[in-house]
Structure 1
């Protein structure tokens, strides 16, 4: 291990140790050729490595330098050079006098949502550029965000990042990433993708606002991984205008998350005081384009996996994993490539498909001309029941929209399960309908509540709404997994107040969406 004052590669003079991580030790140093202050990261090997493992770690560090050097962004630490010291590589990087976001949280406690938004928009900009270059960070956490003067934020430590399309050299069984900030699909054993970085950044920003990551912390990494894999977390309580952004970033299914570029725009909207749009619809196509653009096509017959919320058959950390494919319906094996067909044959297939579609439409019209014409199709029977948490009484009933009770937990199962599909549009439509019924048509509104909110009793429910003159939705509700985030304006005794509510949704036995929990900020 090099000591203070040692000269590396004939030009980099070590001055003092300034940090350490899973893969190395970082030194403040001086480039004696260019006369500038730099940071030098040395590879850190654990005792007992075999020669093969030592070589693997050396290649990993070389790969880190190649990946990081591809990224040039004002909010990312620049890698200047990859040198060698006694046969081992060292990274020569930009030096930024700074404090990590982790240290800021430890010293100052929770941070104001607007400050977190300013930090987040900078980091999201750098990561959007990284994703465009085919780079996935893999280990986003507060310790890897450096804050300089005037809250200048820079992302660092791409040491366990993975270039899309590059050859993976991760040793079988090594967990790449900090469990508390991993995305659910990564905890399930999938390879990280750009969507995984979005979730990890959301977890990081959540921790800065709420004081801890969404899934908490646990010295037992396996126990924590299981919590992450389930994708259930406490909705933010102190996030204010950041709430809808965090809920979109923390969607359990990667296809429902915004891209990193969309995330940057959402955070900028918070800073500008503008309504936060819902970037989730259509985000899946954006992820597929972003993943396909920089990467070469996979070998013929290579398997691709889709995240479905269950443990893959191979378990966690079982060697090289298939890439995460977002937006798919089920794990499938890609069929061998067929020979390219001639233009004439393709045209005949197109004509056949069009004819089949027309026949199907005519048949549907013919069979649908009876008494059920115009009725929406009913979902498949028997949804998986969703366990509802016990309600807790709110001390200030006027701050609860669905009822004077709130639940501090998110529903324990998604209302959009694979056994009984409840569409995103249906979740939002139920919320919109509910707030057209209250406070006047309470009998019909009561039918749209789930078992948790109905457990308060209808009499208390009616007493609460008798105090409210009017309520209306401001902007567009935002669906996030089994939750719908909605901004409400209440009118009472001529005075107006605005609140943001996170509504936990469930499905009843008929497949209809119900409002089961209500958390408000």
Structure 2
């Protein structure tokens, strides 16, 4: 509950919960105000999963700590900023920057699909943040269109709830039920551990969704995961144009043959120049929006 006795709840003596923004299986996202720094923030109220006869508070605590520590060690305009982590009244709360944004999923569902230049620009921005995370040793492990936020000025990767440090032996190779199967790399479906290459496959699948208006594999078909393990290939994209080389390189089944992040960044910058969008070198964040960005 955000209010008690008719007054907004105050967390940690400084964060005033105002109203719920969204709810999913991982928790409730709240709009809140930081009284100390006088700024609006978003706060995730982490919902523990239920196992057996009750809530698994230990799992919720580990997940919240992983999300806050993984995102908290990163500082990049294309990665959500985490400000604080609280445990109060038996619940966990992650304090993050407040963004007025639509997800990539919401945007594509509204427009049907995105033009090539928008998709390439989103990919170029997002890949800069993903390269920053990988450089810091953080694997996201759950990239999909619902975790990609579009503000009109920034593309921001969120949803670090199952992120892990690269090479951490304590992280399970099991794919959490909260993951979107259509965006999970084939090798992970075969039980292999997460890797930067697996994140890049999920990144490529999200770009495929953006430009085609659908996932590379059916999102509602439970058999699609089995088909992918046994060698099924996605339908070739029909709207990708110059993005085809990028998508084919990112969506290769063999992680050893998949394009690396630096190569993908160069390919995306070439597509943007072909589309008349001026961008800086691939290692730098984009600062100029493409023409008519995020408008119908």
* Corresponding residue of 2:204: 202
Q: 1:176, CA displacement in angstroms?
A: 5.9
- DSSP-derived class of the 2:59 partner: helix
Q: Moved runs in structure 1, 4+ residues, more than 6 A?
A: none
* Corresponding residue of 1:135: 138
Cα distance per residue 1:88-115 (max 9 Å; x no partner): 3211101111111100111111111111
- Alignment partner for residue 112 of structure 2, among 97, 109, 113? 109
Q: Is the 8 A contact 1:186 1:192 kept in 2?
A: yes
- TM-score normalised per structure 2: 0.85
Aligned partners of 1:60 and 1:218: how far apart in 2? 26
Aligned partners of 1:202 and 1:49: how far apart in 2? 37
* Corresponding residue of 1:226: 226
Q: Is the 8 A contact 2:33 2:40 kept in 1?
A: yes
Q: 1:266, CA displacement in angstroms?
A: 1.5
Distance 1:170 1:21, change over 3 A: farther
Cα distance per residue 1:422-477 (max 9 Å; x no partner): xxxxxxxxxxxxxxxxxxxxxxxxxxxxxxxxxxxxxxxxxxxxxxxxxxxxxxxx
* Corresponding residue of 1:263: 264
C-alpha RMSD over aligned residues = 2.1
Q: Is the 8 A contact 1:60 1:169 kept in 2?
A: no
Aligned partners of 1:261 and 1:246: how far apart in 2? 14
Aligned partners of 2:147 and 2:85: how far apart in 1? 20
Cα distance per residue 1:354-406 (max 9 Å; x no partner): xxxxxxxxxxxxxxxxxxxxxxxxxxxxxxxxxxxxxxxxxxxxxxxxxxxxx
* Corresponding residue of 1:481: none
Work out the number of aligned pairs and report it.
271
Cα distance per residue 1:129-170 (max 9 Å; x no partner): 1001111111111111111124x2111111111112335355
* Corresponding residue of 1:272: 273
Q: Is the 8 A contact 1:160 1:176 kept in 2?
A: no
Aligned partners of 2:125 and 2:212: how far apart in 1? 20
Alignment partner of 1:166 is 2:168: yes
Cα distance per residue 1:285-332 (max 9 Å; x no partner): xxxxxxxxxxxxxxxxxxxxxxxxxxxxxxxxxxxxxxxxxxxxxxxx
Q: Is the 8 A contact 2:2 2:18 kept in 1?
A: no
- DSSP-derived class of the 2:76 partner: coil
Q: Which has the higher contact order (CA 8 A, sep 6+)?
A: 2
* Corresponding residue of 2:48: 45
* Corresponding residue of 2:291: none
Q: 1:269, CA displacement in angstroms?
A: 1.2
Q: 1:28, CA displacement in angstroms?
A: 1.1
- TM-score normalised per structure 1: 0.49
* Corresponding residue of 2:89: 86
* Corresponding residue of 2:253: 252
Distance 1:83 1:170, change over 3 A: farther
- DSSP-derived class of the 1:200 partner: helix
Q: 1:57, CA displacement in angstroms?
A: 2.0
* Corresponding residue of 2:10: 7
* Corresponding residue of 1:465: none
Distance 1:173 1:214, change over 3 A: closer
* Corresponding residue of 1:71: 74
Q: Which has the larger radius of gyration?
A: 1
Alignment partner of 1:155 is 2:180: no
- 5+ long unaligned stretches in structure 2: 276-296
- DSSP-derived class of the 1:236 partner: coil
* Corresponding residue of 1:237: 238
- DSSP-derived class of the 1:37 partner: strand
Alignment partner of 1:122 is 2:125: yes
Q: 1:44, CA displacement in angstroms?
A: 0.9
Distance 1:2 1:49, change over 3 A: farther
Aligned partners of 2:58 and 2:132: how far apart in 1? 31
Q: 1:272, CA displacement in angstroms?
A: 1.2
* Corresponding residue of 2:280: none
- DSSP-derived class of the 1:149 partner: coil
Aligned partners of 1:179 and 1:160: how far apart in 2? 14
Greater shift after overlay, 248-257 or 38-47? 38-47
- 5+ long unaligned stretches in structure 1: 275-521
- DSSP-derived class of the 2:40 partner: strand
- DSSP-derived class of the 2:61 partner: helix
Q: 1:50, CA displacement in angstroms?
A: 5.5
Aligned partners of 2:50 and 2:109: how far apart in 1? 31
Q: 1:60, CA displacement in angstroms?
A: 1.6
